[in-house]
Structure 1
Amino acid sequence: MAVLSRRVRPDDWKPVGVDALEANALKVVRSADNRSVIAGPGAGKTELLAQRAAYLLQTGTAPPPGRILAISFKRDAATNLAARVRQRCHRIHAGRFDSMTFDAFAKGLIDRFGQALPELWRPTPDYEIMFPNDRDYRDFLQQQLGAPPTSVGIYADIQAITVKAFERRHLVGLPLPLEGWPNPTPCQWAADRYWQTSLRSGKTSGLSFPMIGRLVELLLRVNPMARDALRLTYSHLFMDEFQDTTQIQYDLVRTIFLGTDTVITAVGDNKQQIMRWAMAMDDPFTAFDADFAAKRTPLYNNYRSSPELVRIQHVLAQALDARAVAPVSKTVGTIAGDSCAIWDFSTPEVEADRLAAFVAAEMKTQKLGPRDFVLLVRQKAVDYAAVLEPAFAAAGIPLRNEAGTVGTVMLQELLAEEASELVVAILHLAMTKRAGRYWTDCQEALAALRGVAPDEEAAQTKLARELDAYVIKLSAAHPNPPKTKAIAQSIVDDILAFIGRERLIAVHPAYGQGSWLEKVLDAVAVHLLVSSADGIDWSSALDAYEGIHAIPLMTIHKSKGLEYHSVIFVGLDDGAWWSFSNDQVEATAGFFVAFTRAKQRVVFTYCARRGSRTKIATLYELLSKAGVQSVRVA
């Protein structure tokens, strides 16, 4: 329960909502200096940052009107941290905590101040977000660009630029020069042509998020007033999942906060770095420690996994970092038999049947629900789902491919979208019984959208009356879940009209660019209709929307930050890990991430029909070293 809004003396402050924190975590919570926190799986990284926010806000160490900024790599991490702070703090305190992704932070700044950029680098105000891939860069370099001026080089110089290096090293590899490149190399000339084409070739500019990051860094470098406004606003900065920070993001943080009084806490795990393909720095912790004189502080406890799983995890961790210290499990093992095994199957069909039977039996004997399990794959989840889904359905357990798409939006991303979450919360409040917790969520979300402060009692009361009246009207208009797309769309449109489209865009700027909001709202309507197909009432339809009673299937990358009683990793073979030899460190880190999602059990499956296991022999050797046995399943 959140504490009152009165100030607490620092010496009297105690962790909120938990029995205790490990000694090093408590030191970080109370620290007044910059810290880099190496926190392994299950160490409670989100809880650490939430407790630090509670300490700073409740003791006045972060005095009003100053705010705390938390920036994360993934949107769900930012959302989870904000929710945890709201649980730990009075709403007046939580109102001074801003949690967002790096991309959202940068985009918000370019939207507010972008027209102050020098003309050479200034995008149109209504710029579009673009997501270029290797094919787009290859087409630009080989088809669109042509030969450079003779003073720069020859056509062969352009053709020699590799697609992989173009974005990472040349386009956004370094801070942008204020007046462009005076004597460009062929690579710089190509980068400049891409920039100017993106900024000027159409009616509206087209920018990727890495490009936005570079523009914002330049903006704040040449506009001290905007930079100083941020420094004055934020007394403390949290950086979550810091191992995934890109050079672009790090340079932006340096430009804003280096040499200031803002206290920075960077938290992450160098053994879980699986985003180097997305331009993550090789070792951001070392750079941060050097630049910001940060004190390295490790956390040792693991609150997620059983002692046996933690023992195996440490063998994997040492393959990634020979200096890794053995963590201490703070939970107990609850299953009989092996906590980890490799199951060999003759065919994918036999594999699917046996896995479904195993999950059904475990649910019964361990009293578990479908969401206590996860099926992880490395890639191409739809191919695995085609075989697994019928087997699980036959066992009476719905399986949901959360890596699949609804319209043009990935399902797992849709469920984390603010628009989707708010629509579902309002529907729960209007259509289901015992929906009290949704009332608080809706009230707080609407207050944020309408700019109503927590201590504005009259305005809060008026908002509550509006919410009550609206949900009564909504439930009367739609007593049953939708049976057509048109009805589903009308429900979503009605809720959006009550929320206020412009208010939603103002608070969540990503919805103001291009057609993203329309794509999300269309996906919400489609998914609501699909979820209502077998539901006789709203409660079951909304449960289906959120996947309450379905076992999730997802990729390793999408499992990051999540946890499950049992993890079943399908496909430990060369076919799934075809690129293992290209970057063994990152691939092993991905393997480590998959393993560490589990609280009690990990099962790896192998089927010779999908591929051999020679290329990934290293992974099998690690498991063998940890004492994990391979079992042939008939």
Structure 2
Amino acid sequence: MSLHRRRIRAEEWSPVGIESLEDNAFDVVRSVDHRSVIAGPGAGKTELLAQRAAYLLQTGEAPRPQRILAISFKRDAAANLASRVRKRCHPRHAARLDSMTFDAFAKSIVDRFGQALPEAWRPRPDYQIFFPTEGQYRDFLGSLETPPTQIGTRAQIMAVKAKDFERKHLFGAPLPEVPQPPKDAAQWAADRYWRTSLESTRDSFLSFPMIGRLAELVLRVNHVARKALALTYSHLFLDEFQDTTQIQYDLVRTIFLGTATIVTAVGDNKQQIMRWAMAMDDPFGALEREFGAKRTPLLNNYRSSPELVRIQHVLAQALDAQAVAPVSKTQAKVSGGSCAVWDFSTPVVEAQTLAAFVVSQMKEFSLGPRDFVLLVRQRAVDYANVLAPALASYGVQLRNEAAAVGEVTLQELLAEDLSEMVIGFIRLATSIRAGRYWSECQDTLATLRGFSVDDDASWVRLSRELNTFCTDFRQNYPKPVNDLSAASALVAGVIGFVGLNAILAAFPAYRQGDWLAKVTDAIALHIRASCAMASDWATALDVYEGVNALPLMTIHKSKGLEYHTVIFVGLDDGAWWSFSQDQIEATAGFFVAFTRAKQRVLFTYCPTRGARKNIATLYELLKLAGVSVLRVG
């Protein structure tokens, strides 16, 4: 694949690294107006943005020295987009894409301009980040004294629901430049929360929603900073746009509405599963009304077989009556039905049957454990305790990716930039043939240190440093480490070699608070646990990354992933106990789980875990789609 360095004429540009794009996608790639792109499962949302970036950078439609800003909801999605652009563009072009999460973007603004905030809203420069829970909001409300008589009563404060306190009163609207006198008890409580967080005796404590609101305020009152930021970016990409919160949307609107920056928002309104986390009800509609964005649907599904796509459309219509029927671009490769509900007498029989089925499918279709996923609604450990022994009896390791490693989950850890970096350098140092790892590590260091592509002397020096690092590592760690202190020292050594300051500069999430320490500790813990299961480094690192393990995870954590076969364990009232509280979001979660599959979806049910009365709606949808319920064991 040729990575063009020189400018290509727009009319001569063609997709990079793929055969073609569907007509609507090609239209979006070359668009010169705001776009609201509705892209269903398997439509290639990330690939669309990668191709648009390649087009803009290679043709000069994003003119130097301006850059492209890509904002994603999750860190792994931001990293995935940046990686794809690097593979499709010359490094000189790819370096002009800034791909980050909303949280990282807002934090970078507060870190740069926060001391220009009005004094009443100004946090201390060394503020700490915290992650409040619903229970902590309740505790805070319960700890407040009686408000002034003219404001309200303590009973009124205690009547405020924690979710309403967060969504409506703390973050429901942009912050005023000058704090306004509260008009009722809920507003008074919200003001006390902000004052307590900002004016703590030692440090300011900010959550990411607070940082988002402060970022919007500082740019609203600082016209020079706002204009400079808008001029920096010729184009803005918004990925997974259906999960955008009002806080995040307000920040984008304040910076870019009415400017020359062209916005491309991509997502699927049928996969909105973050309403519990303050996602807007209809962000696409807001973008279309205020920015004048043109709605453009993507029609192809490159992931799922025709039969699965047909069933998906039935589910999609329950979420959006106007949903356009997608076209599958994948062939069916499995025999028999591609979707069914399997009824079992007990969880033990269920586990034994599923284990035998997975092993038989692996043999029949030459698949590996990571071609399958076991999805659960919640309490993953409860299912893992029954499923793991059954799979182990066939020689298959189950990996609970919702399990905690220190203070983060395993799946969160593996998506962390620092984790990927540390493991990449260990693989480089311990591999006999390290060609790919050499290139990746060399590129990582060059990017972190800001080397020019043409700076030959720096690249030669970098190669020598890498050689020295590998030699020293092999001498210090010839075999996998056998205790936590050695694992911690190993991780510290890799970070020291790469350069802590360079890491902090590249990844804003690690700069403040204790997140860097938590991730570093988790890496060491997981390296130690992985080494205990291996006699050589290659095996230990495969264990670390779960290369040969079958993943078990929750619905929410499966979003953005794909598997040959999806097995949803526990389609019952017990697992879906909150279904009646928000049927739209729950049905969207069900849709997300279903659409992870390429070839087959199985749902399982055991009466000992719960009835299926409260979630009858889901079973009715499956029945409407022609999905059978079978008694298996």
Shift of the alpha carbon at 1:183? 5.1
Shift of the alpha carbon at 1:516? 1.6
Partner of 1:588: 587
Is residue 2:102 matched to residue 1:102? yes
Q: Deviations over 1:137-161 (max 9, x none)?
A: 1111122x21222332233332332
| Counterpart residue type for residue 65 of structure 1 | P
Aligned-pair Cα RMSD in Å: 1.0
Q: Distance in 1 between matches of 2:437 and 2:83?
A: 13
TM superposition outliers: structure 1 runs of 4+ over 4 Å: none
| Counterpart residue type for residue 227 of structure 2 | D
Q: Deviations over 1:530-567 (max 9, x none)?
A: 11112121111110000000000000000000000000
Q: Distance in 1 between matches of 2:298 and 2:328?
A: 12
> Does the 8 Å contact 2:408/2:519 carry over to 1?
yes
Match runs of 1:175-194 below 5 Å: 175-182=174-181, 184-194=183-193
Partner of 1:15: 15
SS of 1:19's partner is coil
Partner of 1:633: 632
Partner of 1:137: 137
Q: Deviations over 1:171-201 (max 9, x none)?
A: 0110001110145332222111100000112
| Counterpart residue type for residue 42 of structure 2 | G
Shift of the alpha carbon at 1:64? 1.2
Q: Distance in 2 between matches of 1:39 and 1:495?
A: 40
Q: Distance in 1 between matches of 2:160 and 2:180?
A: 18
Partner of 1:113: 113
Partner of 1:464: 463
Is residue 2:150 matched to residue 1:170? no
Shift of the alpha carbon at 1:461? 2.6
Is residue 2:404 matched to residue 1:405? yes
Partner of 1:30: 30
Q: Deviations over 1:56-94 (max 9, x none)?
A: 000000011110000011111111111111111111110
Q: Distance in 2 between matches of 1:36 and 1:568?
A: 33
| Counterpart residue type for residue 38 of structure 2 | I
| Counterpart residue type for residue 357 of structure 2 | F
Aligned residues: 633
SS of 1:592's partner is helix
Q: Distance in 2 between matches of 1:344 and 1:64?
A: 60
Q: Distance in 2 between matches of 1:373 and 1:97?
A: 34
> Does the 8 Å contact 1:70/1:237 carry over to 2?
yes
Q: Distance in 2 between matches of 1:205 and 1:453?
A: 39
> Does the 8 Å contact 2:182/2:191 carry over to 1?
no
Partner of 1:5: 5
| Counterpart residue type for residue 52 of structure 1 | R
Q: Distance in 2 between matches of 1:179 and 1:457?
A: 54
Shift of the alpha carbon at 1:492? 0.8
Q: Distance in 2 between matches of 1:591 and 1:584?
A: 10
Partner of 2:355: 356
Q: Deviations over 1:228-284 (max 9, x none)?
A: 111111100000000000000000000000000000000000000000000000000
Partner of 1:213: 212
| Counterpart residue type for residue 253 of structure 1 | V
What percent identity do the matched residue pairs reach? 67
SS of 2:573's partner is coil
**Which runs of 5 or more structure 1 residues have no equivalent in the other structure?**
none
Partner of 2:509: 510
Partner of 2:484: 485
Shift of the alpha carbon at 1:2? 4.8
Q: Distance in 1 between matches of 2:279 and 2:227?
A: 27
**Which runs of 5 or more structure 2 residues have no equivalent in the other structure?**
none
| Counterpart residue type for residue 532 of structure 2 | A
Partner of 1:56: 56
| Counterpart residue type for residue 442 of structure 1 | C
Q: Distance in 2 between matches of 1:130 and 1:238?
A: 28
SS of 1:272's partner is coil
Match runs of 1:291-306 below 5 Å: 291-306=290-305
Q: Deviations over 1:288-335 (max 9, x none)?
A: 000000000000000000000000000100111111111000010001
Match runs of 1:560-575 below 5 Å: 560-575=559-574
Shift of the alpha carbon at 1:590? 0.3
SS of 2:6's partner is coil
Partner of 2:599: 600
> Does the 8 Å contact 1:181/1:188 carry over to 2?
no
Q: Distance in 2 between matches of 1:556 and 1:488?
A: 32
Q: Distance in 2 between matches of 1:45 and 1:475?
A: 41
SS of 2:270's partner is helix
SS of 1:271's partner is coil
Deviates more, 1:288-297 or 1:125-134: 125-134
> Does the 8 Å contact 1:377/1:554 carry over to 2?
yes
Q: Distance in 1 between matches of 2:58 and 2:340?
A: 47
Q: Distance in 2 between matches of 1:183 and 1:560?
A: 40
SS of 2:235's partner is strand
Deviates more, 1:364-373 or 1:495-504: 495-504
Q: Distance in 2 between matches of 1:439 and 1:113?
A: 38
Partner of 2:275: 276
> Does the 8 Å contact 1:371/1:549 carry over to 2?
yes
Q: Distance in 1 between matches of 2:411 and 2:29?
A: 32
Q: Distance in 1 between matches of 2:433 and 2:535?
A: 18
SS of 1:98's partner is strand
Q: Distance in 1 between matches of 2:360 and 2:403?
A: 27
Q: Deviations over 1:460-488 (max 9, x none)?
A: 33222211221122122211111111211
Q: Deviations over 1:200-222 (max 9, x none)?
A: 12300001000000000000000
Match runs of 1:387-466 below 5 Å: 387-466=386-465
Q: Deviations over 1:420-473 (max 9, x none)?
A: 111100011110133211122211221222222333332233222211221122
Partner of 2:367: 368
Under a length normalisation based on structure 1, what TM-score does the superposition of the two structures give? 0.99
Shift of the alpha carbon at 1:497? 1.1
Shift of the alpha carbon at 1:419? 1.1
